[in-house]
Structure 1
Amino acid sequence: MDLSVSCGGEKENFAIILGLIAMQLLYGSFSVFMSRVLSTGLNPQFVVIFGSLLTAIILSPVAFFLEKGKRPSKLSPRLLIQFFCISVGGVTAFQSLLLLGIHKTSPAIASAMPNLSPSLVFLIAWFIGLEVVDLRSGRSWAKIVGTLVCLGGAMALAFLRGPSISHWLTSQAPDDDMFIGCMYLLVAVFALSCVTILQAATLMHYPAPLSLCAITYWMGSVFTAALHVVQERGFDLGWSQLSPAALFGAALVGGFVNGTSFSFQAWSIKKKGPVMVSAFHPISTIWSAILSFLLLGHSLRLGSIIGMVLVFIGLYLVLWGKNKDRYALPLPLEANNEGDLLEKQERIKPLLG
């Protein structure tokens, strides 16, 4: 019996690791794909609107059947306001700015910037009193130093240039576009970090993450469409420059990537915790850099490489500190396995601890 349980656990661990690697490769490929599509003149809001709509369609039936007993029967005004803020921040603002950042910089830089999110979440949570920091603790100093290193890496991405690592390639964003694109990405990651904190607070009263995601994607697609109509005084999303098949493909790929990746990531976090899932994020940056080099002729400058390395170092310092936070909690003796242990620790730890 013990042997069969152990084999089952090893198979599950192997499946999670392979799935997380595949998910990051998918994200990196999607960044390169979107960079190519946006270069044809397609409005980024098209991808946000229809990609979010398809994501909601994919997630809604899954959430309906898997979270039947978890959703509250009534929605309070407070929850509705939280849904609105998550939709605007996590869909309309984050995705639109991320796509603008991809278009202005490169897929590699655009996929590196979101690695700042754990550091910014820690910084914001510490500022508003949701994160406990003990300056006598090594794990707290790891998170502080990691946050500073991450921010330094972001500044290096935005300001440092240096020589190109491949002089025979000429496809390189102008310096002005690179700076503006990095600013788009920084604001996008800040919005994502704020939404992450708000999601954590919302899930305490609405413990159905898949349903929350489906609802906010529905709302986000509507809000983004309304914002576009107000901004442009019409609904021209640049589709006159692409064939219907290409437009449908762009929306379908966006919806598929978002829907499947979110579902698998949510399951992986439940099984192994957020630290392990976050540790795989740099894979997408490396993969997108390789693909954009081979397929789009993009080249990285030395400053960008230094910035990415600093972001990765800072990310792993923060993750190490957060992982130590989890193991520093008192262990519930009644936990029967690692999944139960993680679930019970989630109940007793601070909101973002």
Structure 2
Amino acid sequence: MELWSLKNLLPFIGMVVVILSQVSILQVMKAAMSKGKNKFAIMVYSNILSIFVLLVSCLIKHRSDRPPPLNFSTICKFFLLSLIGCSMQIFSYVGIEYSSPTLATAMSNLIPAFTFILALVFRMEKLNWRSKSSQAKSIGTIVAIAGAFVITFYKGPLLLKTFSGSSTTRSNWILGGFFLASDAFLSSTWYILQALILRNFTSVLILMLFTSFFGTILAAIFSLIVVVDSSAWNLKPDIGLVAVIYTAIVGSLFQSSLCAWCLSKKGPIYVTTFKPLAIVMSVVIGFLLLGDVLCLGSPFGCSLIGAIIIVAGFYSVMWGKAKEEYTIEHSEVGSLKSSSEKVPLLHNKIERIVDM
């Protein structure tokens, strides 16, 4: 129970909500694109709305306290983070258009592996093969990635099917997987860079505001070049408008801010280990709401075997991370106790010398 104290429970609940928000955003975007809505126009409009939502939130949050000081170096880091984030959005939307939200969440399980490697490179994480916690994290990550490949490439017997079914072709599925794998690598880089920025700049909302502002400019420039049909920019009270509002409010204000808070509390490795949970949520939502088929294993449906493997890997990583933090905390408490016990002995020796 000590492993699941309030200190660990709040970030855990926060990340579960973050993953649920990410999955729901992908599902809404896929529904909008299936109705012919342009993904890049939705991206620009949602980013513009995000700026106003985050600006109001920053004014409310910092009306009584002064925000951290800004300098040119910090703003440049914000811009780099926005550039990576904008590229992530583009690759993600193109990927789910060619495949499905289920494959998008499956390929996102590559993020923990990429993040773990980058964290080792930047010395944000240590690997000790003799430690059970390190073994659990490493093995759990490998198992989760293996489950992602099973759910993507293994074709098994059909278990359940809704009336609508799935019509994605094999070639589009592979092309979508390529874009989603690129998105996974960029996401890992984004998490690492954001964690490094939050070490010195602690205001999550201001960070989100600047990245949203720069990201909107970059997305607008890219979209104006790519989108040649002017009618694609017309907003109507339909699923396209729902996608804009939902992505802006849930994505930028709620999901991104909550994810950044969890990142500042637990680090990038902890945050990315929740990615495997997304595939389970996507399987359920995709089957119930979007008519995906439920299979023992299939690249065009929801894989039951892959989901079970991913859950096993996810649990192993979470246990390893909690065990590692538990060991560190108790070793620090033990060292404080030993040092406090040594202090009276030292005083006794000094008193004896003085008495002599």
Please, which of 223, 234, 247 is the counterpart of residue 240 of structure 2?
247
Deviation, structure 1 residue 13:
9.9
Deviation, structure 1 residue 219:
0.9
- Contact residue 191 and residue 268 of structure 2 kept, 8 A: no
Change (3 A) 1:96 1:70: farther
Listed one character per residue, the Cα deviations across residues 219-264 of structure 1 (whole Å, up to 9, x for unaligned) are: 11110111222344x5747346x73554332211111111223344
Q: Which amino acid aligns with 1:260?
A: F
Q: Do structure 1's residue 292 and structure 2's residue 281 form an aligned pair? A: no
Aligned residues: 320
Q: How does 1:1-80 map to 2 (within 5 A)?
A: 24-67=19-62, 69=65, 71-76=67-72, 78-80=73-75
Quote the Cα distance in structure 2 between the aligned partners of 1:128 and 1:13: 24
Listed one character per residue, the Cα deviations across residues 157-180 of structure 1 (whole Å, up to 9, x for unaligned) are: 443333333367542411112222
Deviation, structure 1 residue 65:
3.8
Change (3 A) 1:238 1:312: farther
Change (3 A) 1:313 1:50: farther
Per the normalisation by structure 2, the TM-score is 0.75
Report SS of the residue matched to 2:292. Answer: coil
- Contact residue 105 and residue 182 of structure 1 kept, 8 A: yes
Change (3 A) 1:203 1:268: closer
Structure 1 window deviating more from structure 2 (27-36 vs 192-201): it is 27-36
Quote the Cα distance in structure 1 between the aligned partners of 2:27 and 2:173: 16
Q: How does 1:142-161 map to 2 (within 5 A)?
A: 142-161=136-155
Counterpart of 1:123 in structure 2 is 117
C-alpha RMSD of the superposition: 3.5
Residue ranges of structure 2 left out of the alignment (5+ in a row)? 334-356
Quote the Cα distance in structure 2 between the aligned partners of 1:239 and 1:224: 14
Residue ranges of structure 1 left out of the alignment (5+ in a row)? 1-8, 334-353
Please, which of 96, 116, 135 is the counterpart of residue 90 of structure 2?
96
Sequence identity, in percent?
28
Q: Do structure 1's residue 139 and structure 2's residue 121 form an aligned pair? A: no
Deviation, structure 1 residue 214:
1.5
- Contact residue 139 and residue 324 of structure 1 kept, 8 A: yes
Change (3 A) 1:21 1:146: closer
Change (3 A) 1:15 1:83: closer
Counterpart of 1:177 in structure 2 is 172
Listed one character per residue, the Cα deviations across residues 46-100 of structure 1 (whole Å, up to 9, x for unaligned) are: 2222222222322222234435756443313x3233212211112x111222222
Change (3 A) 1:274 1:163: same
Change (3 A) 1:74 1:235: farther
